[in-house]
Amino acid sequence: MLTIKTINDNPEAVIKKLAKKHFDGKEIIYKVLGEDKRRRDIQTELDGLLADVNAKSKSIGALMKEGKKDEAENQRSFVQEVKGRIQVLEADLKDAEMQVQEMLVLIPNLPADEVPEGRVAEDNVEIKTGGAIPDLGDEALPHWDLAKKYDLIDFELGVKIAGAGFPVYKGKGARLQRALINFFLDKARDAGYIEVQPPYVVNAASGYGTGNLPDKEGQMYHATLDDLYLIPTAEVPVTNIYRDVILEEKDLPVKNTAYSACFRREAGSYGKDVRGLNRLHQFDKVEIVRIDTPEHSYESLKEMVNHVESLVEELGLPWRILRLCGGDMSFTSALTFDFEVFSAAQKRWLEVSSVSNFESFQANRLKCRYRTTEYKKTQLVHTLNGSALALPRIVAALLENNQKPDGIHIPKALVPYTGFDIIN
C-alpha cells in the first residue's frame, strides 16, 4: 500500500507512474487527497478541543476552591457541550480514516524507474539467456505423454479425486517431485536462507498484509466457515511472520525459505497453455523471502536473481530472464524479473519463477519496520520474494528436454536426491 505521504508529496508523479502499469489513477488519487485533507482538518479541530477541555477541566477544581461556584459551573457546562462536539468529530475522524484506507488498498504499487513500458507479455524485455536448447526432432513427446508412458503422473485420476488441475504423482514421478523440493531447499539454505515450514492457510489479515486481498480474492480458495484462505504461495505466510514487528537494523537482511503446496483457483487460458503441468490449481514450490533496508533492497534483488539463475543452470535447462513491463507486473511489485525455461517438445518458453522487489508497499500494509542503529528511529522495511523454484514447469521441461531412446535422463545434480539416474 502506498503511504499517504508518497501521494501528498507529488500526486502528479504518482499518477504518471501508475500509468506505466496501465492504471488510471487520477480520480482515486485526488479523492484520497481530498479525504486525507478532511481527516487532517478534523484532527486539527479535535486536538484543539481536547486541549481546551483538558485545560478547563483542570480549572474547575481550582475555581471551586476559590469559591467561584458560578464560574466553575459555566466551565463545566462548556466542557459538557464541547465533549458532545468531540464525540461527533471522533466519529467523523474514524470515517475519514476508513475512507482513505479503503481507497489506498485499491491503488497498485508504483513501478521502479527501470520498468519498461508495455502492456502485455510480449513487451517484456529479455535481459539474459543461458543453456542450450536441445534438438529433439519431430518424434519428441510432450511431458503429458511421457508421464503416461512411464507412469509418472496420472492426470485423469486427479480429475476423479478433485478435478482438473490436481494431478496425482506416482512412483518415480513422486520421487522426482520430492527430489526437486529437497534440492531447492538445500540450495537455499546453502545461500543463507533459514528454512521455515508455514501453515497452508492464512487469515484475512495475512492476505491483506501481502496485497493478495482484496486484489486477488477471486483467485484464492476461501474456507468460508473458518474465514481462512488456502495460500497461493509460501510468500504470504512467511512474510506475515513479520507483520506488526519492529526489526533491528543489525538483524537485516532477514532471509527465509519455505516449501509449500500452492493453491490457485484461476487456471488461465485454454488449450496447450493449460495442458499437463503447464497450469495447475495445486502445485509445489520453494520460495525465498527477504526483508531488507531500502538502501540495500535492490542489491538483495540482484542476489536473489543470481540464486535462481544458479538453480536452472545446475539443472541443465535452457533459460532466459525477462524484466517485466509495467502492464505485465503484479499489483504489489515495484520491479519483477521472470525466469523462463524452454520446453523442447512443446517448443515454447515456460515461466518457472518471478523474483520481485515490493519496496515498502507490503511493509506499509504489514506495519513492518526496522529501528536504525544510528538514530534509533523506525522506518518501513523493503520486502522481496522469489520462486526458487516452482516445480510443475520445471518437471515438464526436465522430462521433455532429457528424453532419449533409452528413457529420461536425470540431471547429475539431482541424482543424489532421486536415487536413480534414468526413468525407463
Residues contributing to the annotated binding site for L-serine: 233, 264, 287, 385
Round to whole Å and give the CA distance between 30 and 230.
35
Round to whole Å and give the CA distance between 121 and 355.
16
Bridge partners of 386, per DSSP, are 288, 355
Count CB-CB contacts under 10 A for residue 126. Answer: 11
Q: Which helix (H) or strand (E) holds 330?
A: none
**DSSP code for 133:** -
Round to whole Å and give the CA distance between 173 and 176.
5
Q: Residues near 217 by Cβ (< 8 Å), separated by ≥ 6? A: 207
Q: Residues near 212 by Cβ (< 8 Å), separated by ≥ 6? A: 220, 229, 232, 236
Residue with cell 513501478: 111
Round to whole Å and give the CA distance between 406 and 384.
43
Residue with cell 491483506: 208
377, burial (CB in 10 Å: exposed 0-12, middle 13-18, buried 19+): exposed
Round to whole Å and give the CA distance between 269 and 88.
52
Q: Which grid coordinates are listed for 308? A: 535462481
The number of CA neighbours under 13 Å toward the Cβ of 94 is 6
Asked if 171 contacts 323 with a C-beta cutoff of 8 angstroms, the reply is no
Count CB-CB contacts under 10 A for residue 118. Answer: 18
Q: Which residues are annotated as a binding site for ATP?
A: 264-266, 351-354
Round to whole Å and give the CA distance between 196 and 214.
26
Q: Which residues are annotated as a binding site?
A: 233, 264-266, 287, 351-354, 385
Asked if 104 contacts 96 with a C-beta cutoff of 8 angstroms, the reply is no
Q: Residues near 416 by Cβ (< 8 Å), separated by ≥ 6? A: none
Q: Which helix (H) or strand (E) holds 384?
A: strand 382-390
Kindly give the residue spans of alpha helices, DSSP state H, lying in 105-170. Answer: 143-149, 155-161
Using alpha carbons, select from 326, 312, 305 the residue that is nearest to residue 22. 326
